Amino acid sequence: MSEENVLIQPLPVERDSTGCWTHPAWPSTDDELIPYSWFADRGLEVRERNFEGDAPDELQAAWFASGIADCSAWSPTQPAGDGWFIFSIHDTEDGPICVWVRPVTP
């Protein structure tokens, strides 16, 4: 069975002390971004939710203005529709993002 045919399942999200967590199926790469084709090849739809604009204002202020690198109080808003699960919550150059995925429905 090829890597593309392995069904990626939701797992319990156990965030670290800074609020980050990444599914073990996330490919090993030095890049913080994965090409959308990687998800499509695995039958997944993907949506990103940015901390900036989604987290409460006071949490954003603490992160961006105060330099407190902790997004553990952020509960990323799930995209509309059923079947979404968190694939990663991680920091980027532009602040934390949450990557949501769900199986593509035929």
Give residue 2's pLDDT.
44
CB of 71 closer than 8 Å to CB of 79 = no
Residue whose C-alpha is closest to residue 98's, from 39, 42, 51, 35: 51
Instruction: Count CB atoms within 10 A of the CB of residue 93.
Output: 5
As a whole number of angstroms, the distance between CA 5 and CA 104 comes to 13
Matching residue, tokens 């690198």: 69
The verdict on pTM exceeding 0.85 is yes
Model pLDDT, residue 1: 39
| Percent of the chain with pLDDT strictly greater than 70 | 90
pLDDT digits (tens, 9 = 90+) for 32-82: 567 888 999 999 999 999 999 999 998 888 888 877 788 999 999 999 999
pLDDT of residue 49: 96
Written as six digits, the tokens of 101 are 């995925």
